[in-house]
Structure 1
Amino acid sequence: MYTGLLHSHSYLAYLVLLGLLISFGNALAGLFGNKPFSDKDRKLSLLGLIPAHLQWVIGLILYFVSPRGASLASGAAMKDSVSRLYFLEHPLTMVIAVVLITIGYSRAKRLQIDSKRFKSIAIFYGLALVLILIRIPWISWPGN
């Protein structure tokens, strides 16, 4: 079970990054192109939201079943940079990123002005994308 979850979490990261890039790019194109926010744009923004939430759920399960997750909760883990990454930095940063994505999507749904809708998605998804990129554990990235 653990190995399957770990592989799912690792390879789903590609889909999360792709979905966020598509959503972010579409939001920028809509914002700078002064386009109306259509149902297509709403669905494209879901490409960033849905995989990120799925990834978060798998990551949360992994956090409690992985030998690199909650079991490392100790002062000694805080002194080791790799342990600290898996125990604290990666999960906390990813939770913040998923919250930002959710806020950006929710705000865009409520706003009435199209440019503000695109701007909400661009800002929040962009910040989340940066956070995700800086806290992916590149040392165990599939293919390395």
Structure 2
Amino acid sequence: MEKTVQFIHSGWAYIVLLVLIIATFNALIKFFSGKEYSPVDFRFSLFALITMHIQLLIGIILWFTKGYFDEMSVGEVMKNDAVRKLAVEHPVTMLIAVALVTIGYSKHKKKLVSKPKFKLIAIFYTIALALVLYMIPWNQWF
């Protein structure tokens, strides 16, 4: 079961990354060019939100199936750099990234004018994208 969940989590990450990049760059480009907010822009930001939440759920399942703390104590996990990154740093950072996307999406819906909508999405999604890119375990992903 663990291998299957790991495979799904790794495969879905490509979709999350692609959609988050598209939504972020769409917001940045349209913010700086002064374009009007359209239903396509809404869909980009919504799809980024949905894919990230699905990835979060898959990640939570994976975290519990891995059982990092079943075999090792918290102290042992924290002393081992590789295990600490996968068991603690990666999940916490990704949870923060999901929270940022959720906050940005929620705040942008309350704005009535295009420029502030794009500004909120651009700020929150860019920070989330930076966190995601920083915390992807690249050595295990390829």
TM-score range, shorter chain: over 0.9
C-alpha distance in 2, partners of 1:33/1:139?
37
* Residue pairs, 1:123-142, within 5 angstroms: 123-141=123-141
- Give percent identity, aligned residues only: 44
Which 5+ residue runs of structure 1 have no aligned equivalent? none
Partner amino acid for 2:116? K
Using structure 2 for the length normalisation, give the TM-score.
0.94
Residue 59 of structure 1 corresponds to 59
Residue 74 of structure 1 corresponds to 74
1:70 is displaced (CA, Å) by 4.3
Check the 8 A contact 1:49/1:102 in 2, yes or no. yes
For each residue in 1:66-123, what CA deviation from the matched residue of structure 2 results, as whole angstroms up to 9, or x when unmatched? 14x4434510111111011011100000000000000111111111121110011111
Residue 7 of structure 2 corresponds to 7
Give 1 or 2: higher helix fraction.
2
1:139 is displaced (CA, Å) by 2.0
Q: Which runs of 4+ in 1 moved over 4 A?
A: none
1:125 is displaced (CA, Å) by 0.6
Partner SS state of residue 9, structure 1: helix
Change (3 A) 1:50 1:73: farther
Using structure 1 for the length normalisation, give the TM-score.
0.93
Aligned length: 141
C-alpha distance in 2, partners of 1:66/1:118?
39
Check the 8 A contact 1:63/1:70 in 2, yes or no. no
* Residue pairs, 1:85-104, within 5 angstroms: 85-104=85-104
Partner amino acid for 1:75? G
1:10 is displaced (CA, Å) by 0.5
Change (3 A) 1:29 1:2: same
C-alpha distance in 1, partners of 2:126/2:58?
22
C-alpha distance in 1, partners of 2:139/2:30?
36
Residue 113 of structure 1 corresponds to 113
Compute the RMSD of aligned alpha carbons: 1.2
Matched, 1:18 2:18: yes
Partner SS state of residue 36, structure 1: coil
C-alpha distance in 2, partners of 1:44/1:86?
29
Matched, 1:39 2:39: yes
Which 5+ residue runs of structure 2 have no aligned equivalent? none
C-alpha distance in 1, partners of 2:59/2:69?
12
1:47 is displaced (CA, Å) by 2.6
